[in-house]
Amino acid sequence: MASQSRIVELSSIIAKETAKLDKFFTENGLPTPSLEADALRSLPIPETAKDIEAAREAIMVACSELKALVTGPKALLRVDWTAYTSVKAIIRFELDKSFPVGESTTFEAMSKFSGLNVNTVQRVVRHAIINHNFFQEKTPGVITHSALTAIVAQDEMARAAIIVELDEFWPSAPKMADAMEKWPNSEENNETGFTLANNTDKGMYATLAEYPDRAENFGRYFFADRDPPHLLPDNYPWKGNETVVDVGGSHGSMSISLAKRFPNIKCVVQDLPVNVKEGAARLPPELKDRVTFMPHDFFNEQTVVGDVYYFRCIFHNWADKYCIQILRNLIPVLRPGAKIIIHDRIMPDPATVSVEDARRTINMDIGMLQLLNAKEREFKEWPELLQRADPRFKYLGAHRPPDAMRWIIDAEWQG
């Protein structure tokens, strides 16, 4: 008997795992997945339902492979060069905000709201509907919100995130190869795709600092962390009375979660002036005596004596030479036993993780290259980096909490 073809095998996986997912929703009285405007913003799968989350991921992986196989190699070589152009136009001209969620509109009304002519609005919106599920057109010429446009119209954090991805990150991608050709093997953050896309000689952070509105959106992008806010409090052996210096901590989301959990912990959040100003303004009043904000550039010497120095998503933004400088700038205030916690992704061995997990990390790795000439590091690179900074930094290990994207990398200053 001939072996089962791969496309039939994949279709069987999709059917089996989809039935499992649907049964879970039905038995638990949960709404079925939908892209309607009133749909839940994420699938209601609890952290404890590991088998259901595994089924969901298996469906996505199998669907992706099946689509590739039935598309065929030659067609797969075609580049979607229109990509997110329509989404960017919708956000730029606020077409998603041109009518309330739960109501409908027309191309003519969108035209009047935006100043764009009717034909252009119609072309942009229909491209976004077909390619990205932005809006719906169930009746010709009558536009309603989809789940996606309902989110960006009502959630300013989500809106800021998509603006950063489309306005700051996306234009850098096609310029990466040009930067690699112009500056071979560069470790400088001002010799990148971002640099070329912005027609500047400055790096991304220096460029954003010149534009407060862009910097503000960038800070919002990282305020709502992809990892759950309880991750660090739950997965590190805190004594509960430390002084934590949250270096490059943006608006202080992780420090806030620590302070809420441990009533005797004190946190100092350091970042660019615009970020610490907004973070301080958002800080819950009951935490003002234990969470403080101060401007600080981590390429200058550290001035705050602490028990723990915490870096979330900092080191993957910089090439090795700069990470070494960041670590060395801590030394003047370090006391023996001071801890350095690095909260970052680690490049996985593709044979040990799911396809989706590997894809997320390698995509971020290339993103760091195009924006900053930085990278995601492999396991072996972390102890090497600490030793290159100073042999008195002792690598204690790394672990990845359940359901987290990032690893907690632990080191100690031995003095």
Name the pLDDT band for 1 (thresholds 50, 70, 90): very low
pLDDT digits (tens, 9 = 90+) for 145-164: 999 999 999 999 899 999 99
My answer on whether 263 and 345 are in the same domain is: yes
Measured in residues, the chain has a length of: 415
Q: Which of 127, 145, 296, 316 is catalytic?
A: 316
At 361 the pLDDT is: 85
My answer on whether 260 and 408 are in the same domain is: yes
Count of C-beta atoms within a 10 Å radius of residue 261? 15
Does this model's pTM top 0.95? My answer is no
DSSP 213-266: HHHHHHHHHHHS-SS-TTHHHHSS---S--EEEEET-TT-HHHHHHHHH-TT-E
Match 């100003």 to its residue by tokens: 277
Average pLDDT over residues 53-60: 94
Assigned domain for 41 exists: yes
Of the residues 135, 154, 173, which one is the last residue of a structural domain?
Answer: 154
Q: How far is CA 318 from the centre of its chain?
A: 16
The pLDDT of residue 219 is above 90: no
The string over 33-48, giving b where at least 16 C-beta atoms fall within 10 Å of a residue's C-beta and e elsewhere, is: eeeebebeeebebeee
pLDDT digits (tens, 9 = 90+) for 248-284: 998 898 999 999 999 999 999 999 888 899 899 999 9
Count of C-beta atoms within a 10 Å radius of residue 327? 24
At 20 the pLDDT is: 97
Strand 243-247 and strand 266-271: the pairing is: parallel
> Does residue 203 sit in helix, strand or coil?
coil
DSSP H/E element including 198: none
Q: Is 296 a catalytic residue?
A: no
Q: Which two tokens stand for residue 108?
A: 């003519």
At 229 the pLDDT is: 65
**What is the domain-level CATH number for residue 310?**
3.40.50.150
Question: Distance between CA 347 and CA 358 in Å, rounded?
Answer: 8
Of the residues 154, 181, 209, which one is the last residue of a structural domain?
Answer: 154
Name the pLDDT band for 351 (thresholds 50, 70, 90): confident
First-residue to last-residue Cα distance in the chain: 69
My answer on whether 280 and 376 are in the same domain is: yes
Comparing CA positions, the residue from 153, 152, 135 lying closest to residue 144 is 135
My answer on whether 165 and 253 are in the same domain is: no
pLDDT digits (tens, 9 = 90+) for 376-412: 999 999 999 999 999 999 999 999 988 788 899 999 9
Counted domains in the chain: 4
Assigned domain for 1 exists: no
35 is in which domain, residue-wise? Answer: 6-76
The dihedral over CA atoms of 233, 237, 240, 245, expressed in degrees to the nearest 10, equals -70
At 405 the pLDDT is: 83
Q: DSSP secondary-structure letter at 413?
A: E
Strand 243-247 and strand 142-144: the pairing is: unpaired
Question: Distance between CA 114 and CA 95 in Å, rounded?
Answer: 7
My answer on whether 147 and 163 are in the same domain is: no
**CA gyration radius for the chain?**
24
Of the residues 122, 139, 154, which one is the last residue of a structural domain?
Answer: 154
